[in-house]
Amino acid sequence: EANDLNSALHKVLKAAFCSNNLARGINESCRSIEEFHNGDEENKSALCILAEDINDDGYKKLIVALCNTENVPLLQVDSKTNLGEWAGFARYDDEGNARKVRAGGVVVVRRWPESERTNVDIILQHMKQSS
């Protein structure tokens, strides 16, 4: 199931990045969590994804607190390197293999991409089961 979730996350993040609905890094992510909420349930960010292997505890606490305050769903993934690759922080060689992958600690999906509805459902189903 983890592979299905990881593959669904990869596709959803790629589609969100292409449609300019992905905030990458702590500054953009914090801004997206706060700005898009504005007390309106329809306007809040769809999902925040945080890497568990971040070394800075203050970083984690800030993101968790913001998500709790603004009622934005939070999903934690194992690796900041994987999250960085999924969020587009990588260069690819001619064969499609990721090279020069930069780590990414947090990303926020502002809106679910319509083109990846089945993968969005996989993510939502996993979040229901884990809560």
What pLDDT digit, counting tens, does each position of 91-131 carry? 777 777 777 877 888 999 998 988 888 999 989 998 888 76
The pLDDT score that the predictor gives to residue 40 is 61
**Which segments of 36-97 does DSSP mark as H helices, in order?**
57-70, 80-86
CA dist 68 → 2, 19, 72, 85, 113 (Å) = 25, 26, 7, 26, 23
The pLDDT score that the predictor gives to residue 1 is 45
Mean pLDDT of the chain: 85
Of the chain, the percentage scoring pLDDT greater than 90 comes to: 28
pLDDT band, residue 44 (cuts 50/70/90): confident
3-state SS of the chain: helix, strand, coil percent to 5? 50, 15, 35
The pLDDT score that the predictor gives to residue 51 is 92
Rounded average pLDDT over 31-57: 80
Instruction: Write the CB contacts of 113 (distance below 8 Å, at least 6 apart in sequence).
Output: 12, 15, 16, 18, 19, 21, 120
pTM score of the predicted model? 0.86
Element (H, E) at 126: helix 117-130
